[in-house]
Structure 1
Amino acid sequence: MKISTIQGDTVDLICWKHYGQSSGMVEQVLNANPHLAGLDPILPIGTEIDLPEISNNQQDSKATIQLWD
């Protein structure tokens, strides 16, 4: 999926909005878009970004901890 940035977008924010988390996603998006490495953290408006398909089993899953049984 390709998107264009809007004012105030960062790679972290885009990952949070699209994938629902940023941990581990930012690295994959940067690998798919090496041109982003040379830009400022707040991306220029209109920067095109390719968001790779990431399946659920590739996303980090957090274990649920039960305090009481």
Structure 2
Amino acid sequence: AWKSTHQYLGRYTVDKLLAFEEYQRVASPLRVFAVIALTPLPGLLTIVLIAAIPLESPLKGVSAN
């Protein structure tokens, strides 16, 4: 069942290839660089904010945190 459901997984349709070709043609190198550089920022920001939450010592037990 899984194999028949996901038979096109990892394959590109003609429409997707044409859309990608169009993007390559119209996107400036600056935009491509910005997309590559800025894509990881939300995840990294989330990790930094979670790491910034002050926690008590684990020796104090669950109720201290």
Give TM-score scaled by structure 2 length.
0.24
Larger-gyration structure (1/2): 2
Of Structure 1 and Structure 2, the greater helix share is in 2
TM-score, normalised with respect to structure 1: 0.23
